[in-house]
Amino acid sequence: MLSKKVILTGSFGVGKTSLFERFINNKFEDKYLTTIGVKVGKKLVNTEKGDLSMMIWDIAGEVAQNKVPTSYFLGASGIIYVFDVTRPSTYRNIGEDIEYLKSINKLTTIKVVGNKKDLATKDDLDKLLKEIPLSVDLFTSAKTGENVEKLFHEFALEMVG
């Protein structure tokens, strides 16, 4: 069976761990828990093109070179860059962050995901799309579960295909 490493990264408090928990364990915790270092989980994803064992690394904190060891990104087949749709500070440097991620792992597929969709209106999201300099692949809500399975399923399809 095919196995791939996927990294969840982005700023503090954007919901990386909540997405991780929603996808791996179908749970959501309202209280904020800071991830220290890295948390790793595994889930089998069945796709039309075959099954994939996803090793998901939930990385603490920031993307910046001086905060997260680059070794965490080595061997990754995919990176999910998560930002909070309600906090501009979490997507203000998105272009630089994505360029940095591409520089440390050139072969990796990168998805840009706006989380906490449940806290924004459609108008908020439309305005946000105009502010962000690159395309957003999906808006999710770890709290409600909206688009979480879709995110990981589509990602698995790309990696299997």
pLDDT score, position 66: 57
Cα gap 157→160, rounded to integer Å: 5
Q: What is the mean pLDDT of the chain?
A: 91
37's tokens: 């270092």
Domain locations in the chain?
Answer: 2-160
Residue 37, phi-psi category: left (phi > 0), alpha (psi -120 to 50), beta (remainder): left
Cα separation, 72 vs 75, in Å, equals 8
Straight-line distance from the first to the last Cα atom of the chain, in angstroms, rounded to the nearest whole number: 14
Average pLDDT over residues 77-92: 95
* Residue 4: C-alpha distances to residues 16, 29, 46, 71, 160 (Å): 18, 26, 13, 16, 9
| Triad 51, 55, 56: Cα angle to 5° | 120
**With 0-12 CB in 10 A as exposed, 13-18 as middle and 19+ as buried, what is 137?**
middle
pLDDT band at 115 (very low <50, low <70, confident <90, very high): very high
Q: What is the percent of the chain where pLDDT is above 70? A: 96
Domain 2-160 classification at class level: alpha beta
Name every residue whose Cβ is closer than 8 Å to that of residue 92 and which is 6 or more positions away in sequence.
none
- HSE at residue 3, side-chain half, CA atoms within 13 A, is 7
**Span 53-81, average pLDDT:** 83
Residue type, 125: L
What's the mean pLDDT in 125-149? 94
Instruction: Answer yes or no: are the C-beta atoms of 78 and 159 closer than 8 Å.
Output: yes
Contact 54, 156 (CB under 8 A): yes
pTM of the model: 0.93
Most confident of 9-13, 35-39, 69-73: 9-13
